[in-house]
Structure 1
Amino acid sequence: MENTDHTDHDHDSNGHGHEHGDFFSRLLGPRAEIIFAGLAGICLLIGWLGPKLDVLPDPISFGFLLAAYFFGGYYALREALGKILIGQFQIDFLMLVAATGAAILGEWKEGAFLLFLFAIGHALENFAMTRARNAISALADLAPDEALVRRGDTTETVAIDALVIGDVVIVRSNERLPADGFVVSGQSAVNQAPITGESAPVDKRPVADRVKAAENPDTLKSESRVFAGSINGSGSLDVEVTKLSGETTLARVVTMVSEAETRQSPTQSFTKKFERIFVPCVILLAIVTSLAFLVLDETASQSFYRAMAVLVAASPCALAIATPSAILSGVARAARGGVLIKGGAPLESLGRLDSIAFDKTGTLTEGEPRLVDIVPYGDVEEDTLLKVSAAVETLSDHPLAEAVVRDAKSRLGSVPESATNFASITGRGVSARYDGALVHIGKLALFDEVDGAPVPDDLVETVNALSANGRTTMIVRQGERYLGVIGLMDTPREAAKAVIARLHEIGVSRMMMISGDNQNVADAVAREVGLDEAFGDLMPDEKVIKIKSLSEGQGVAMVGDGVNDAPAMANATVGIAMGAAGSDVALETADIALMADDLETLPFAVGLSRATSRIIRQNLWVSLGIVAFLIPATLFGLGIGPAVLIHEGSTLLVVSNALRLLGYNEK
């Protein structure tokens, strides 16, 4: 079988390598192996029944048994020889040795039966595994092959690969979108379920400023962004292309999900190590069993036959495929639900964790704070405080700054844009020169670090009072004069409380929040959404330290937006990014990416991971249990035929069990 993870066993890959060029595969197509298995069964049946029914002479019957050997063993032998030539020892080879041994003993019918069952088992196993892979490869077919492009005054149909950034594509009603981009004209509801897993269509409208949107498309709101592979509703849209065909969110998801199969989970690594020890032990046991006639009252042929049965019984095929089949099915099901899981390790790890840490802004909250308090200090007028604050914050791209500018405009009508020399003081605040003086805006801690007059005690009391009510506060000082404090509030996401409750039901026992906001704000949000703990006043580097400490022992998953939280997520046991669709940083840094900017897919991801871990454990117990039963059974006389029947049955059982994950639905 073809090995995608470059290990010493083949059952976790694509099946036999015949699809790449042998004569029969080219002649018969992808069903060649199942056809050969069927022919092996027909030849075996004729060769066995012919003499019994006295309708065929023995030589012709023997010829059919030889044909059964050929059809049943062709692909296994072809693959085994190919692996031996590169120094890899395959479990398939053990089956071929057993069939050869049966032939040497004159048990041609039994050997042909072994190869037939082995061939049909592998063919069905590969068919089942292909179902899981097709769920992944189907993603690649979501984007159309062509797009209608408006270039100047003309429109033309071009191949998707011919699209360039800045092209405007016309998407009519009920068509699939050909590229990632933003809406420049038209309104419609777009079904993004193939990309983000969102159950309801998302209303789309044009951007306000096309030039500005093109300069930084990753910051656009979901109401204007669209993704290749999603389905337009009843309206018509003009979409400006922001990514080439090979760089779209869909293309990256297809690539990453395909690569995920080769990234091994801890259980896969364990089974590989186990096989390296176990297979040589099987061979040694078979050799010892073949010499049993020296001490037991039986013939050499009887001992040899028993040794061949041991080879069949002890081949850990079910064990080898138990974990990969579950991982592949889990990853495929997750992708269909708008969750990108990068391999077996994060999928299995998330299923075992009972602690999750959340970032606050943009994760548990809407990420769109509102300016709710404007408290001038001394004889300062409210408009002055607001005007100076907005003038400086126009130079910042922080969500809090955008909120200040947006709400100041709504109150004042316009804000000055004459501030200069802007500087961001990480985790503390900002500074800029406005109206001839240096302005500082930020937390209390900022004014302990910069030169100038300390914050007056009565202003500190105002800040503390606002913070106690869940406000994020910013003190404003112009030169040596304190202008006052402004308070902002970021409301929790509507689904946050229900999601936290659902995670508790699933079995996540400890949920916490880490935030750069002060502890009072963090506690207020945590209480509202139902978290167990909140850690506030954390600088970016302190978030990393906190996550590292939480990851010790049982481990912790970290949920964030994948941009500002990338360092913390990288240090968590499992990093989970929200709103990853269209975000290169989120797709690259996270172990698990929730494609929609929606917390509601998190319980699905955790539940699926737990179901995958559960099925992996079931498969391991079944596969090891069958081997534990068959080895002594064959030593005490169980024949090759029944042994291979049980052996192949167990392999199909674990694959079928794993395929149940393709139909997983969160309850």
Structure 2
Amino acid sequence: MWLVVTSSTLSPAPVTTGRPAGPGLLARFWALTEVRWATIATGLFALGSVAQLLDGPPALWWALYLACYAAGGWEPARAGLRALRERTLDVDLLMIVAAIGAASIGQVFDGALLIVIFATSGALEAVATARTADSVRALLDLAPERATRLLPDGEEEVVDTTDLAVDDVIRIRPGERIGADAVVLDGASDVDQATITGEPLPVAKTAGDEVFAGTLNGTGALVAQVHRPAGESVIARIVTLVEEASATKAKTQLFIEKVEQRYSVAVVVATLALFGVPLALGAELQPTLLRAMTFMIVASPCAVVLATMPPLLSAIALAGRNGVLVKSAVVMERLADTSLVAFDKTGTLTTGTPRLADIHTTAGIDAFELLRLAAGAENPSEHPLAVAVVTAARERGLPVPPASDFDSTPGRGVSALVDGKRVAVGRPNLLDEQPEPDTAEIRRAVTDAQAAGHTAVVVTVDGQPQGVLALADHIRPQAAATVESLTALTGATPVLLTGDNPGAARHLAAEAGITDTHAGLLPADKVDRVRDIQTQGQRVLLVGDGVNDAPALATADLGVAMGRQGSDLALQTADAVLVRDDLSTVPAVIDLSRRARRVVKANLLIAAAFIVVLVTWDLIGHLPLPLGVAGHEGSTVIVGLNGLRLLRQSAWRQTT
């Protein structure tokens, strides 16, 4: 079929199909079965073509083509008959009838080609559907299966997390994944909740703070009270949001299905009329059947499928060579509609790794000495901030001194003996132990660092505050140029959607040239914001990398994931992947899509013109079958070669 078939058969998101729904194993079974049969059909078609070109025995290549019919046609035939039982007529049945009709008048090659196209399209759809469904289900594995529940008498019992009820009290040990959404009652720790909020650094949790199922506890122990049942946890709601958003996307195919239905009905009715009416008026059977079958072949949408697919597939191949994996032809075509781009922050516009941005010191110590001592104290720690401090010292050629008597306090920081001095490195609450007048200068430095969107780390030496290390998640080098290019391309400045704090978000947005910023967003909030933008008539392309971005990636008109740092769920949910995490390829692939669309439109006009001419000739005159086949196949060659122009590297225009 023409573009409507590629839209319905190559969709990257889970869609409603004729195959059974069910658990992952069943979906994988169907996917593997269709891939297997499509591969067999393609192989048989290739062998038949070779045998025919080499003037092999007709019986041989006919047998190979008919075997191709059987291998690739049984699933479309079943889907078509199922639709017929439901009193609808779809393109699957039309293609099977056209293929059989072609064989009945000796054009078995044309029929086998139709079979291969449809078998391959169905296999691609099945694989995409099964893989996305598996990735959504795998998200639930982030939450542990077991949790430690505290009983009223103080005893502990290990239970399934699904058995936890609201108001149950659980113990969360160091390094454990948290089993439920809960509120901390006792203890202190740093919790890595990037999977939920996208924050680049672990967050300090103490009594009264909320923790989320599936997030990773740090070095401290926590006692928390469950306040949401398992089925309503944030991680469970992410799964629901992804599935609902994917289903909503699938509904956009309904208009296409209506067009497909009408075209199929029109061709079938016209073919039956061409066959039945002349027979009723006394025409001979053989020439009447020949004209009807010739009509079905020249009216078949095979030529238009090949008119649209070469430019789109060429564009996909060119994008792939330049680091963008576009998952299907329909995605490449829809990229052209993008009118607004939204970015996640951490791991997308930024590298996702904190680095030293600035050093503030008191008069009693220089910056390098402060950094050297801090690196010595942090060296035994595996905390991301500690890694950033040690890395900064080594990048500046500073020797990292050995530490002894190391101690780590969750929610505060670390301390150790370095060069005979007690060095403490941690959060600004280290200053709470110092008199206000003695820390005024350091407190101002902390305030300045936080106002700039940085994470402030206080360093004390022998109990005296000596300085502040400002750490920040660095913006990607291409971010500002990409934002500028996208603004010119779409006519709208991109927006920032992030779970990080407002200060860090505003600072990053200013660096990137973004003025519309939305911070502190949970996954559901990102979905709501994307929908708000869509209600304003915008076609939203969202770029993200984390589990927390997956629902919004599915909700957006198009989702693009970062390839190197992207979570499995984000990679599977997204419609395209930036393999090298190069943001400058986003405007480049949108521009390429628009060029591909222009070629598609030209090809469709060419293909439609051929069909109209051939059909008209067959209806009002006498179109010889060989000439009809030649015109039909010739049109596909012309538009195919036209589409292949997009394989040239010159068609790729990338922001530099």
TM class by shorter chain equals: 0.5 to 0.7
Partner AA of 1:656 in structure 2: L
SS of equivalent residue, structure 1 residue 488 = strand
CA distance in 2, matches of 1:294, 1:509: 62
Unpaired segments ≥5 residues, structure 2 = 11-16, 20-34, 81-92, 125-248
CA distance in 1, matches of 2:301, 2:494: 40
1:36 equivalenced with 2:18 (yes/no) = no
Partner AA of 1:395 in structure 2: S
1:559 equivalenced with 2:543 (yes/no) = yes
* Structure 2 partner of 1:414: 401
* Structure 1 partner of 2:322: 337
CA distance in 2, matches of 1:517, 1:337: 31
CA distance in 1, matches of 2:268, 2:569: 49
Structure-to-structure mapping, 1:275-424, within 5 angstroms: 275=260, 277-293=262-278, 306-365=291-350, 369-375=354-360, 391=377, 395-398=381-384, 400-407=385-392, 413-414=400-401, 416=403, 420=407, 423=410
* Structure 2 partner of 1:599: 583
Partner AA of 1:414 in structure 2: P
CA separation of 1:640 and 1:13: change in aligned 2, threshold 3 A? farther
Match of 1:498 among 464, 470, 481: 481
SS of equivalent residue, structure 1 residue 510 = coil
Partner AA of 1:509 in structure 2: A
* Structure 2 partner of 1:178: none
CA distance in 2, matches of 1:532, 1:402: 32
1:58-114 Cα shifts (integer Å, max 9, x gaps): xxxxxxxxx98x7896655554466369646463643653674xxxxxxxxxx66xx
CA distance in 1, matches of 2:563, 2:110: 46
Number of residues paired by the alignment? Answer: 471
CA separation of 1:295 and 1:265: change in aligned 2, threshold 3 A? same
CA distance in 1, matches of 2:596, 2:570: 24
CA separation of 1:326 and 1:586: change in aligned 2, threshold 3 A? same
Match of 1:533 among 516, 532, 554: 516
1:490-537 Cα shifts (integer Å, max 9, x gaps): 554443333334434544633233455654554444344434533445
Identical amino acids, percent of aligned pairs: 29
Q: What is the TM-score with the length of structure 2 in the denominator?
A: 0.54
* Structure 1 partner of 2:637: 652
1:330-365 Cα shifts (integer Å, max 9, x gaps): 433333333323334543443322222234445434
* Structure 2 partner of 1:636: 620
CA separation of 1:372 and 1:594: change in aligned 2, threshold 3 A? closer
Match of 1:472 among 454, 457, 466: 454
CA separation of 1:576 and 1:554: change in aligned 2, threshold 3 A? same
CA distance in 1, matches of 2:330, 2:427: 41
Question: 1:592 deviation in Å?
Answer: 2.5
Does the 8 A contact of 2:453 with 2:507 survive in 1? no
Partner AA of 1:637 in structure 2: G
Unpaired segments ≥5 residues, structure 1 = 41-66, 101-110, 134-263, 424-429
Does the 8 A contact of 2:311 with 2:643 survive in 1? yes
Partner AA of 2:401 in structure 1: S
1:608 equivalenced with 2:624 (yes/no) = no
* Structure 2 partner of 1:97: 101
1:379-401 Cα shifts (integer Å, max 9, x gaps): 99987899679846963543x54
Partner AA of 2:454 in structure 1: T
Question: 1:558 deviation in Å?
Answer: 3.0
1:488 equivalenced with 2:475 (yes/no) = no
SS of equivalent residue, structure 1 residue 513 = strand
Of 322-331 and 454-463, deviating more is 454-463
CA distance in 2, matches of 1:577, 1:488: 26
Match of 1:666 among 611, 630, 652: 652
Partner AA of 1:474 in structure 2: A
1:246-295 Cα shifts (integer Å, max 9, x gaps): xxxxxxxxxxxxxxxxxx99999876764455334422222223343489
CA distance in 2, matches of 1:312, 1:20: 23
Does the 8 A contact of 1:472 with 1:488 survive in 2? yes
CA separation of 1:97 and 1:37: change in aligned 2, threshold 3 A? farther
Question: 1:33 deviation in Å?
Answer: 0.8
Partner AA of 1:574 in structure 2: L
* Structure 2 partner of 1:196: none
Of 74-83 and 631-640, deviating more is 74-83
1:577 equivalenced with 2:551 (yes/no) = no
Partner AA of 1:593 in structure 2: V
SS of equivalent residue, structure 1 residue 371 = strand
SS of equivalent residue, structure 1 residue 414 = coil
Of 381-390 and 533-542, deviating more is 381-390
Question: 1:472 deviation in Å?
Answer: 0.9
Partner AA of 2:479 in structure 1: A
CA separation of 1:287 and 1:452: change in aligned 2, threshold 3 A? farther
CA distance in 1, matches of 2:434, 2:574: 42
CA distance in 2, matches of 1:596, 1:517: 24
Question: 1:377 deviation in Å?
Answer: 8.9
1:573-609 Cα shifts (integer Å, max 9, x gaps): 4343335289867755644222224334334433334
Question: 1:371 deviation in Å?
Answer: 3.0
CA distance in 2, matches of 1:18, 1:516: 49
* Structure 1 partner of 2:187: none
Partner AA of 1:472 in structure 2: H
Alpha-carbon RMSD: 5.7
CA separation of 1:481 and 1:628: change in aligned 2, threshold 3 A? farther
Partner AA of 2:492 in structure 1: S
Does the 8 A contact of 1:76 with 1:92 survive in 2? no
SS of equivalent residue, structure 2 residue 580 = coil
CA distance in 2, matches of 1:13, 1:621: 35
SS of equivalent residue, structure 1 residue 340 = strand
CA separation of 1:122 and 1:659: change in aligned 2, threshold 3 A? farther
Structure-to-structure mapping, 1:34-433, within 5 angstroms: 34-36=50-52, 39=55, 77-80=66-69, 83=73, 87=78, 89=93, 91=95, 93-94=97-98, 97=101, 100=104, 115=107, 118=110, 274-275=259-260, 277-293=262-278, 306-365=291-350, 369-375=354-360, 391=377, 395-398=381-384, 400-407=385-392, 413-414=400-401, 416=403, 420=407, 423=410, 430-432=411-413
* Structure 1 partner of 2:243: none
CA distance in 2, matches of 1:13, 1:609: 31
SS of equivalent residue, structure 1 residue 288 = helix
Does the 8 A contact of 1:515 with 1:537 survive in 2? yes
CA separation of 1:408 and 1:33: change in aligned 2, threshold 3 A? closer
SS of equivalent residue, structure 2 residue 412 = strand
CA distance in 2, matches of 1:353, 1:13: 36
Does the 8 A contact of 1:576 with 1:592 survive in 2? yes
CA distance in 2, matches of 1:500, 1:559: 12
Q: What is the TM-score with the length of structure 1 in the denominator?
A: 0.53
Does the 8 A contact of 2:450 with 2:456 survive in 1? no
CA separation of 1:337 and 1:408: change in aligned 2, threshold 3 A? closer
Match of 1:511 among 494, 512, 515: 494
